[in-house]
A = this chain, B = another copy of it.
Amino acid sequence: LISRFMKTPESGLSLISEVLATAGLFWRESERLFRPLGLTAAQYNVLATLAASSEALNQRTLADVLVVDRSAITGLLDRLERTGWVRREADPADRRAYRVVLTAAGRRKWDEARPVYHAAVRGALEEVTERRVQEATATLRRVQAGVAAWTEGQRNRGNAKAIEPKSKEP
């Protein structure tokens, strides 16, 4: 996926390669940045998601927003509950589910971490023009749609005979 020795780089391969390399680099540096605060990057993501959401979220929704398997959320919340930054509350409307909420300490931790993170992002993008940022953002959204469409196509080809197109917000 990351092929720096590639001889005849199809442009698409190069783009994906750079996406993965950029994400890896940034994620790794984020871990180092958050470490003195006692946070991991994944945990910051949870705090940020909860802080930005108006309603309480259940674990399924959290998993969808963070684009990880639901089972990954269990351990993540276990550790965040252990440090007291997050709490699982019983959902009165559905006894299978939890409502995950930020504690006061969790919000303070997020208030502390957020400016650190934002400073890093600004630092990293200092030399990149606003036009380029906008353009790349739009392109990456298209790539994500492309990945989703392609995998969906594969799934249909693999399974039965493509029941229905089922177009949503085209």
Contact = CB atoms under 8 A, between A and B. Distances in A.
Interface of A: 1-7, 10-16, 18-30, 32, 41, 44-45, 48-49, 52-53, 65-68, 117-118, 120-128, 130, 132-137, 139-151, 153-154
B2 A45 contact: yes
Contact of A18 (B15, B52, B144, B147): B144
A60 to B, nearest CB: 15
A148 B25 CA distance: 9
B140 A65 contact: no
Given A6-B52, A25-B144, 19 more contacts: A1-B41, A2-B66, A5-B52, A10-B121, A11-B130, A11-B134, A11-B137, A12-B122, A12-B133, A14-B133, A15-B140, A19-B23, A26-B143, A127-B149, A128-B142, A132-B135, A132-B142, A133-B139, A136-B140
Nearest to A142: B128
A148 B32 CA distance: 13
B135 A25 contact: no
Nearest to A135: B135
